[in-house]
C-alpha cells in the first residue's frame, strides 16, 4: 500500500555539487542539504532540473538519493525526480529511488519522445502502477515536448495517479485555474516552481513553492511562506521583493551561457562562495560562470547580507 505524502511549504530542488572532474562531490552535497534543513525547509526535492538530473548516470542518481535520505533522517520528506526519455527508464529510476528510501517520485512527460496528452497520461499511470510510491507531476514544457494540459492534470489528480503538481510552465493563469479546479481535493497539493511570483501563488491557494534560489537563501523563502500562511501579505510581498532582487544573479552571465547554465550555475557559484560547495562546475557541456560573473555574484551576496565583505 502506498504510504501517504503530506507535502507543503518550501521544497527546494537541491543543487548537485560536482568536483572539477565532473563527479558528484558527496561532502559538498551533505553541506548543501544540512544548509537547507537548517534553513527550515519542509522537504527536499533531489534529481530535478536544478539538480541536473538528466546528466547523471543511474549510479550517480542512486548516490544523490542515498545521501539525501541519510542526511534528512526522516525530518522532512525526500522526493526524487525520475525523469527520462521513456516510461520503462522512469520506472527503473523509480524502483531504485524507492529502494533507497525516497518517499515520492517526481515525474515529467517523457522528453525527446514525442507524446500526446493521452499517451502522457498513460506514462504517469504506468509509472504509478509499477512503483508503490506517490507521484508528483512536474510541468516543465521548456525541457520536454509537451505542456501538461489542464484536463490532463485534472484527470490524473482525480484518478489518484498523481498527488501533487509542481508547475514550472510559466503559465500562471493555467495554474490559477488548477487551484480552482482541484480545490475539492483536500489531499492534492499544488506547488509553483517560480522564484518570483510565490506571494501571488500562495495568495491564490498554492500549497508551497519549489524554488531553485532556495538553495542560496532557504530562510528567505521559509519566511515568505510563514508570512503568507499567517495572512501577513504585506510582509510576504516585501520578502518576495527582496528575493526578486537576489534572483537577479541568474542574469549575470546570461549573454555568455545558456539559460540553464546561467541560472543553476549562479546558484552553484553562490554555494561555492558561501563555503558550502567546493566547486561551481556544472555537467558538460554546460560551462561554469566565468570569473567576471563569479565576482558579480560575490558582490551581490555581500549586498544581500548572505556573505561577509
What are 158's three cell numbers? 482525480
CB 111 within 8 A of CB 138: no
CB 69 within 8 A of CB 100: yes
Environment class of residue 192 by beta-carbon count within 10 Å: exposed (0-12), middle (13-18) or buried (19+)? buried
CB 43 within 8 A of CB 189: no
- Point out the residues that are catalytic: 138, 166
What are 44's three cell numbers? 527536499
In sequence order, what are the beta bridge partners of 135? 105
Could you give the C-alpha distances from 122 to 90, 96, 163, 217, 250, in angstroms and in order? 13, 21, 16, 38, 36
How far is the first Cα of the chain from the last one, in angstroms, to the nearest whole number? 53
Crossing angle for the helix pair 117-130 and 150-158, to the nearest 10 degrees: 30
For cell 547554465, the residue is 261
Please, which residues have CB within 8 angstroms of residue 117's CB and are 6 or more apart in sequence? Answer: 146, 149, 151, 152
Q: Where are the alpha helices (DSSP H) in the chain?
A: 26-38, 58-72, 87-99, 117-130, 150-158, 172-181, 198-203, 218-229, 233-247, 259-273, 291-303
CB 268 within 8 A of CB 286: no
Could you give the C-alpha distances from 2 to 70, 99, 191, in angstroms and in order? 21, 14, 21
Amino acid at each position: 500500500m502506498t504510504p501517504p505524502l503530506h507535502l507543503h511549504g518550501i521544497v527546494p530542488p537541491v543543487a548537485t555539487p560536482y568536483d572539477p572532474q565532473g563527479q558528484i562531490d558527496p561532502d559538498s552535497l551533505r553541506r548543501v542539504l544540512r544548509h537547507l534543513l537548517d534553513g527550515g525547509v519542509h522537504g527536499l526535492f533531489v534529481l530535478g532540473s536544478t539538480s541536473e538530473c538528466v546528466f547523471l548516470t543511474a549510479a550517480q542518481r542512486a548516490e544523490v538519493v542515498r545521501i539525501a535520505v541519510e542526511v534528512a533522517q526522516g525530518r522532512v520528506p525526500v522526493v526524487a525526480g525520475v525523469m527520462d526519455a521513456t516510461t520503462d527508464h522512469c520506472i527503473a529510476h523509480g524502483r531504485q529511488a524507492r529502494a533507497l528510501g525516497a518517499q515520492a517520485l517526481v515525474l515529467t512527460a517523457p522528453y525527446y519522445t514525442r507524446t500526446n496528452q493521452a499517451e502522457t497520461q498513460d506514462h504517469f499511470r504506468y509509472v504509478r502502477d509499477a512503483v508503490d510510491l506517490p507521484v508528483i507531476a512536474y510541468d516543465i514544457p521548456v525541457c520536454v515536448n509537451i505542456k501538461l494540459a489542464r484536463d490532463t492534470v485534472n484527470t490524473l489528480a482525480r484518478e489518484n495517479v498523481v498527488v501533487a503538481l509542481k508547475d514550472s510552465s510559466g503559465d500562471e493563469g493555467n495554474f490559477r485555474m488548477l487551484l480552482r479546479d482541484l480545490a475539492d481535493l483536500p489531499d492534492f497539493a499544488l506547488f509553483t516552481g517560480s522564484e518570483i511570483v510565490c506571494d501571488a501563488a500562495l495568495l491564490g491557494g498554492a500549497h508551497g513553492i519549489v524554488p531553485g534560489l532556495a538553495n542560496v537563501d532557504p530562510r528567505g523563502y521559509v519566511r515568505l511562506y510563514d508570512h503568507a500562511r499567517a495572512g501577513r501579505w504585506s510582509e510576504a510581498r516585501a520578502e518576495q521583493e527582496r528575493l526578486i532582487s537576489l534572483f537577479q544573479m541568474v542574469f549575470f552571465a546570461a549573454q555568455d551561457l545558456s539559460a540553464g547554465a546561467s541560472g543553476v550555475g549562479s546558484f552553484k557559484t553562490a554555494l561555492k562562495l558561501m563555503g558550502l560547495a567546493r566547486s561551481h562546475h556544472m555537467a558538460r557541456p554546460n560551462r561554469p560562470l566565468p570569473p567576471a560573473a563569479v565576482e558579480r555574484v560575490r558582490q551581490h551576496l555581500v549586498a544581500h547580507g548572505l556573505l561577509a565583505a
